[in-house]
Structure 1
């Protein structure tokens, strides 16, 4: 079994150096997410990677905290924040649930390209709900490999992952459908208020705590 911390530690330098594959889609996600943020908000990003998204969004909020399971990802994120002189952003190495527990009160929780990598995702939804005030936002973007609307491509991707995991070239990946993911978020006590479909079988979801 691939250890997720070691997997992402090994991948960190290459991940940091890789260009964004679809910049228009990435900028769309940033713009839609930024539209929900206020200057007084405290934001928690789970699975922040090397901090690129956080550094672009931090200027819109009072404080931004990113967590990632990989200490090497966090090291790179801290170096980037120091280099860019962004002083309202912090980072820590933690699992999703530990990151939520340690963050303290927050107004918005982000999980961008993370949920399909979590085994205990329903527990994470419950923890996010508990951390947010009523009306607080949970914003996610998730690869959904079981979504029928994406056609036959999903079968090829799903077939490759177990083989890649055998040789430790891929982490655990959970297969969501769009409707199943949204229902799971709603079952945790959220109202889904915006969705869109991105490239590479991704679903962008904005949910509000009710």
Structure 2
């Protein structure tokens, strides 16, 4: 089966060098995530990329397992974790459909859900990895929130062009709006604990949901 792994492998070195676009917003979301973590938590991050967020959170929990489709991204994550002296991080290569087995106290998915071919299947898998009362924390671009604007139409036009040029993954990018995304998470067996945009003007929806 064809996957987007070669695309992410190819861009991994450049991706790793890109600075965070909005450091204040990133730090705000990171602080909110830290507020939900406990020292004895076992955490799974899906779509970890080069591991920056997991490395930031590792000192707050007992163990964090990071998973990504791309071996290239994971290689950089391993190097970064070693350089940072992080010793409680486990690495797993595979798609969300082949995420690590077992149960976790928290599952993270940042800037991932809009790139997955089957949101419902992914949310069902997350639910299966979490016992009752455990948390799913995500941040997702809700591109449909900008509909009617120049930004929205630039996304609509540029994403297919970039895909043709090999500068975007081949899988479709989903244009979620906030209500439909939150409804999908609730339908998968979660209650919403916190939802916000950091900052308010961003299209990224930060969601904390508890497994029912």
TM range (shorter): over 0.9
What CA deviation, in whole Å up to 9, does each residue of 1:72-93 have, x standing for no partner?
A: 1001111111121111111121
RMSD over aligned Cα atoms: 1.5
What CA deviation, in whole Å up to 9, does each residue of 1:109-155 have, x standing for no partner?
A: 00000001101111010111111010100000001111257844222
The 3 A distance-change label for structure 1 pair 150 and 191 is farther
Q: 2:143 maps to what in 1?
A: 145
The alignment covers a number of residue pairs equal to 207
Residues in 2 aligned to 1:186 and 1:107: alpha-carbon distance in whole angstroms: 18
- The aligned runs of 1:107-118 (5 Å cut-off) are 107-118=105-116
Q: 1:94 maps to what in 2?
A: 94
Where 2:36 maps in the other structure, the secondary structure is coil
Q: 1:168 maps to what in 2?
A: 166
The 3 A distance-change label for structure 1 pair 205 and 14 is same
Q: Which runs of 4+ in 1 moved over 6 A?
A: none
**With structure 2 as the length reference, what TM-score do the two structures score?**
0.93
Q: Tell me if structure 2 keeps the 8 A contact 1:66–1:90.
A: yes
The 3 A distance-change label for structure 1 pair 133 and 150 is farther
Residues in 2 aligned to 1:185 and 1:136: alpha-carbon distance in whole angstroms: 14
Q: Tell me if structure 2 keeps the 8 A contact 1:44–1:103.
A: no
Unaligned runs of 5+ in 1: none
Residues in 2 aligned to 1:41 and 1:182: alpha-carbon distance in whole angstroms: 25
Q: Tell me if structure 1 keeps the 8 A contact 2:147–2:153.
A: no
